[in-house]
A and B are shown apart, each in its own frame.
Chain A
Amino acid sequence: MNASNLDFFRHIIRRSLRSIWENLYLNTVASGVIAASLLLLGVYVSTLLNLNSIVDTWNKDIHISAYFDSTLSEQDQLAMRDTIYAMPQTVEVRYVSQKEAYSWLTQRVEGIEDTLEELGENALPASLEITLQKEASTSVEIESFAESLRLQGFNELDYGVEWVEKFNAFLQLLQMLGILLGGLILVSATFLVTNTVHLVVYNRRHEMEIAKLVGASNSFIILPFLFEGIVQGLIGSLTAIAGLWIIHQTLAIRLQEAFLLDIVGKLHFLNTQQLLLLASIGVGLGFIAAFIASTRFLRKSP
């Protein structure tokens, strides 16, 4: 870059900073619109990511309870456990004896001790708690695995995957809606910011007309606006990120108070890459809006 180019860019930066200062209100409005749009987008993305993370945890918890026929000896039951453990779909198989089942129930359900005592320790069947591979945790896979268990002699099976799948489907719908909503938010924000920048351009049209008359190139006219747009986008993004952080912290504290749980650690904030992407969208938004508004002026100006 030669000295003349350097001086040219110095003039551009100086003009941009002066324009930002002279049109402080409009620039604040533009940054505010970008911040509000990104905040909306950020809240939506954060909610989806956190819901996804919760569903992931639930997916890991999906297992099948297979109850043994009471006529089978414990030795046979253990042999069946080993057979099932050897199946490729299984990750973990836990044997729950009749005694363990009895003790579990008495601990969990109060007031049924007398009834259970009457029935005796063998009242509940022994069972296997089978955890499947993640890939085998879809409803189709689980259904086929359950069928193979029935063939091996298990009459009673208990597995609740459908509602998790329905929730997953609901999340996918939310994701699709999110893409649509995100697109709409960005288009509306571009429209709003473009119109705000257009007001800045309108405020300075007299100066730009004079600049053109004394031989200013198109880049001399447009570049200060693009720089302004980038600054607006950057300020808007940082404001949105700060807003997201405040919302995240407030929500975490409120949830902690409400459930007396250590939610702070469980509620995920956007990671660095996601934050950088959000900032890039903000900067891009400011840049595109400034480009549209300033080139619109150039097309009209002789």
Chain B
Amino acid sequence: MIRLYNVSKRYGSIYALRDINLRVSKGEFCYITGPSGAGKTTLLKLLYGAIRPSEGKLLVGTHDVGKMKGKTLPLLRRNIGIVFQDFKLIPRRTVADNIALALEVLGTDRSTIRKRVSAVLSIVGLQGREDLYPQALSGGEQQRVAVARAIINDPSILLADEPTGNLDGVMAMEVMEILQAINLRGTTVLVATHDAALMQRFPYRKLSFRNARLESS
């Protein structure tokens, strides 16, 4: 599903990632872990095409990310769900509208959107909250809305960058349980985190980064 061959990313002479070789199979759940500045977020950005590798080859599904142009990038992103630490919800849009955005970009008709939004809201446990605005929800609920938006397209990969970073213990566990459930449905899940307790509670493969290098996988 994800393959990296000697991938490096550098800004000038500074390496954000160096000589990474990695393989993540379809349906796997992996943690990307390591201290701040180790390269966790850089790896995620490379995977969803926000930045391109300086060296090496990066394959996501059938896409060679390094060779992708601006016009083909949306095709990659429609196959990847992304969850951020700061949720990245649109404050002026309702929960339903925030989630629907991922289907609107595909030109999905409104009745299908309504059905799919309702279905993903029940997966993340937010039925009946469609018409609320993000600011009316707790942090945990906002993160669940972000997860719902990320999975509404049935992506084959879900990337989560510190998804529990802004949440307290209980809410973090709830979000992790949802990610776990999504993984059980066959989606490859990569979670960047340095929360040791979380990794202990939900033990999966760890990709440990330090000083821009993959230390262990």
Contacts and interface: CB of A to CB of B under 8 A. Distances in A.
Contacts of B88: 206, 209-210, 213
A37 to B, nearest CB: 31
Contacts of A213: 48, 77, 82, 88
B78 interface: yes
Q: Identify the interface centre among B75, B77, B93, B105: most chain A CB within 10 Å of its CB.
A: B105
Given A22-B92, A207-B90, A210-B88, A217 B51 contact: no
Contacts of B48: 213
Q: Identify the interface centre among A11, A215, A216: most chain B CB within 10 Å of its CB.
A: A215
B71 A218 contact: yes
A212 B77 contact: yes
Given A206-B90, A216-B74, A218-B71, A302 B107 contact: no
A214 B149 contact: yes
Contacts of A302: 45, 49-51
A7 B74 contact: no
Interface string A181-223: 0000000000000000000000000110111111111101000
A296 to B, nearest CB: 14
Interface string B33-59: 000000000000100111100000000
Contact of B107 (A7, A15, A214, A218): A7
A211 B102 CA distance: 7
A7 B111 CA distance: 11
B71 A220 contact: no
Interface in B60-94: 70-71, 74-78, 82, 88-90, 92-93
A73 interface: no
Interface string B151-163: 0010000000000
Given A210-B88, A212-B77, A218 B70 contact: yes
Contacts of A7: 107-110
A281 B93 CA distance: 35
A216 B90 CA distance: 15
Interface residues of B, number: 29
Interface in A1-48: 3-5, 7-8, 10-11, 15, 22
B77 A3 contact: no
A7 B103 CA distance: 11
B106 interface: yes
B177 interface: no
A179 B72 CA distance: 44
B77 A215 contact: yes
Nearest to B91: A206
B195 interface: no
Nearest to A2: B107
A10 B90 CA distance: 20
Contact of B90 (A4, A210, A218): A210
Given A214-B77, A214-B149, A220 B105 contact: yes
B215 interface: no
12 contacts: A4-B109, A7-B109, A207-B92, A209-B88, A210-B88, A211-B105, A212-B74, A214-B102, A215-B105, A215-B106, A215-B153, A216-B74
- Per CB-CB distance, the 7 closest pairs between chain A and chain B, nearest first, are A8-B107, A215-B78, A215-B77, A214-B102, A216-B105, A4-B107, A302-B50
